[in-house]
A and B are shown apart, each in its own frame.
Chain A
Amino acid sequence: MKFTISRETLLKPLQLVSGVVERRQTLPILSNLLIQSTGDSLNITATDQEVEIITSIKTKVDEPGEITIPARKLLDICKTSPEGAQLTFKVDGDRARLLSERSRFLLSTLPAADFPVTPDFDVIAEFEISQKELKKLIDRTQFSMAQQDVRKYLNGLLIEVIDDMLVSVATDGHRLSYCRIETKNVKSKSFQAIIPRKGIQELSRLLSDSDNVAKIKIGSNSIALELDDIKFTSKLIEGKFPDYERLILSNPSINVFADREALRQALVRTSILSNEKYRGIRFSVTNNKLSIQAHNPEKEEAEEEMEVEYSGDDIEIGFNVNYLLDALSAISEETVQISMIDQNSSCLLQQPEDSNCKYIIMPMRL
Chain B
Amino acid sequence: MIIHVDMDAFYASIEIRDNPALENLPVVVGGSVKHRGVVAAASYEARKYGVFSAMPASTAIRKCPGIIFLPVDMKKYLKVSAQIQNIFLTFTPVVEPLALDEAFLDVTQSEKLFGSSASIGRKIKQVIKSELRLDASVGVARTKFIAKIASDFDKPDGFVQVPVNGEQNFLDPLPVHLMWGIGKSSLQRYLTLGIKTFKDIRLRTKDFMGEEFGQQGCSVWELANGIDTRTVSSQTQIKSISHERTFANDIADIPVLMAILLELVEQVGQRLRKKNKLYRTVTLKLRDSDFKTISRSKTLEQSLDSTSSIWHTAKALLNTVVQNRGRLSGAYRLIGVGVSGFQAPPSMQQSLFNDSKADCHSEIDKVTDQIRERYGDKSIARGKSKSSIES
Q: A: which residues have CB within 8 A of B?
A: 150, 171, 173-176, 242, 247, 277-278, 280, 318, 320, 344, 346, 360, 362-366
Contacts and interface: CB of A to CB of B under 8 A. Distances in A.
Contacts of A171: 352
B235 interface: no
A365 B350 contact: yes
Given A150-B301, A150-B302, A242 B350 contact: no
Interface in B291-343: 301-302
Given A150-B301, A150-B302, A362 B347 contact: no
Interface in B335-376: 347-353
A280 B350 contact: no
A362 B349 contact: yes
Given A150-B301, A150-B302, A278 B348 contact: yes
Contacts of A362: 349-352
A176 B302 CA distance: 21
Contacts of A247: 352-353
Nearest to B353: A242
9 contacts: A173-B352, A174-B351, A247-B353, A278-B347, A346-B352, A360-B352, A364-B350, A365-B348, A366-B348
A175 B352 contact: yes
A346 B353 CA distance: 10
Contacts of B352: 171, 173-176, 242, 247, 346, 360, 362
List the 9 closest pairs (A to B, CB-CB), nearest first: A365-B348, A362-B350, A364-B348, A150-B301, A278-B347, A364-B349, A362-B352, A242-B353, A150-B302
A138 B348 CA distance: 29
B350 A344 contact: yes
Interface of B: 301-302, 347-353
Nearest to B348: A365
Contacts of B350: 174, 344, 362-365
Contacts of B351: 173-174, 362
- Where chain A touches its partner, the secondary structure class is loop
A173 B353 contact: yes
B355 to A, nearest CB: 9
A277 B348 CA distance: 11
Contacts of A278: 347-349
Contacts of B348: 278, 280, 318, 364-366
Nearest to A318: B348
Nearest to B302: A150
A362 to B, nearest CB: 4
Contacts of A280: 348
Contacts of A174: 349-352
A346 B302 CA distance: 24
A42 to B, nearest CB: 43
A111 to B, nearest CB: 38
Contacts of A242: 352-353
A344 B351 CA distance: 10
Contacts of B349: 174, 278, 320, 362, 364
Contacts of A360: 352
Contacts of B302: 150
Contacts of A365: 348, 350
Contacts of A318: 348
Contact of B347 (A173, A176, A364, A366): A364
Nearest to A343: B350
A216 B329 CA distance: 59
Given A247-B352, A278-B347, A365-B348, 7 more contacts: A150-B302, A173-B353, A242-B352, A247-B353, A278-B348, A278-B349, A362-B351
A320 B351 CA distance: 12
A171 B301 CA distance: 20
Contacts of A344: 350
A320 B350 CA distance: 10
A139 B97 CA distance: 55
Nearest to B344: A277
A45 B347 CA distance: 43
A247 B348 CA distance: 20
Nearest to A344: B350
A245 B351 CA distance: 16
Contacts of B301: 150
Nearest to A363: B350
Nearest to A365: B348
A280 B350 CA distance: 12
A318 B353 CA distance: 18
| B301, B348, B352 — most chain A CB neighbours (10 Å) | B352
Contacts of A346: 352
A363 B347 CA distance: 11
Nearest to B352: A362
